[in-house]
Amino acid sequence: KNEVEQSPQNLTAQEGEFITINCSYSVGISALHWLQQHPGGGIVSLFMLSSGKKKHGRLIATINIQEKHSSLHITASHPRDSAVYICAVGRETSGSRLTFGEGTQLTVNP
């Protein structure tokens, strides 16, 4: 079992739909990161959070430390949101290293 698991692996939505991507982890963490990888490969850091909820534009990230679970929500999805979304955790015992989930391929159709 991977230490960081994401679901779903693939997600197809229609423009305007509300999207949720889930991330569960099994280790103690210092922080959880949500990353967006574009088709060309470049990665953008969307959120880093260790508790509660953060919002940036149409993106919302939540984390429940007790349940070891985080969600990334996209409201009013748009085709330009199509990308791979990656959950990564900074483990308490591994210093600076991140452990990555396998990613969720999101496709938003017009």
Residues that bind another protein (CB under 8 A): 29-31, 33, 35, 40-45, 48, 50, 86, 90-92, 94-98, 100-103
Of 6 and 77, which CB lies nearer to another protein in the complex structure?
6
CB of 46 to another protein, least distance (A): 10
CB of 82 to another protein, least distance (A): 16
For 103, the token pair is 């990613």
Separation CA 105–CA 96 (nearest Å): 26
DSSP 30-87: EEEEEEEE-TTS-EEEEEEESSEEEEETTEEEEEETTTTEEEEEESS--GGG-EEEEE
Of 16 and 55, which CB lies nearer to another protein in the complex structure?
55
Of 60 and 100, which CB lies nearer to another protein in the complex structure?
100
Of 71 and 99, which CB lies nearer to another protein in the complex structure?
99
CB of 38 to another protein, least distance (A): 9
CB of 108 to another protein, least distance (A): 19
Closest to 23 in 3D by CA, of 80, 55, 57, 65 = 65
Torsion of CA 68, 74, 75, 78, to 10 degrees: -170
